[in-house]
Amino acid sequence: MQLGADIRDARRRRRLTMALVAERAFTSRSTLQRIEEGDPAVSIGIYAAVLHALGLLDGLGQLAGPLADSLGQALAAEALPKRIRLKHTAP
C-alpha cells in the first residue's frame, strides 16, 4: 500500500527510528512495521496516531475533503438546476 511506503519514507526523512515513532504513537514497533508494509488490518486509529507522531495528521482530514473528491464535485455539478428563476412578488 502506498500510504505505508509514504509513512516509512516520512519517518526516514525525519531520521526517526521505528522504536521512537512507535513509542510516540503509543503502539508497538511490530505494528508500525505492519503499517509501513501496508497491512490493511491495522486500524485507521493507529495510522492516525503514527501520522500525528510524524506531524502529518492534518493531511488525514483532507483525504475526503471536497477538493480531493472529484467524483463528488462532478455529481454535485450535475445536480445543479439548469435555470434559475426569480420569484416575482406582487407590489
Task: Give residue limits of the domains in the chain.
Answer: 2-79
Instruction: Say what the pLDDT of residue 69 is.
Output: 80
**Nearest-angstrom CA–CA distance, 27 and 69:** 31
Instruction: Say what the pLDDT of residue 1 is.
Output: 78
Instruction: Say what the pLDDT of residue 48 is.
Output: 93
Instruction: Say what the pLDDT of residue 4 is.
Output: 94
- Which among 46, 19, 23 is positioned nearest to 35, based on CA atoms? 46
Run of H or E including 35: helix 29-36
Instruction: Say what the pLDDT of residue 41 is.
Output: 95
Task: Measure the CA angle with vertex 45, ends 38 and 66; round to 5°.
Answer: 85
Spans of the chain below 70 pLDDT: 91
For the stretch 4-23, pLDDT in tens is 999 999 999 999 999 999 99
What CATH fold (topology level) applies to the domain 2-79?
434 Repressor (Amino-terminal Domain) (1.10.260)
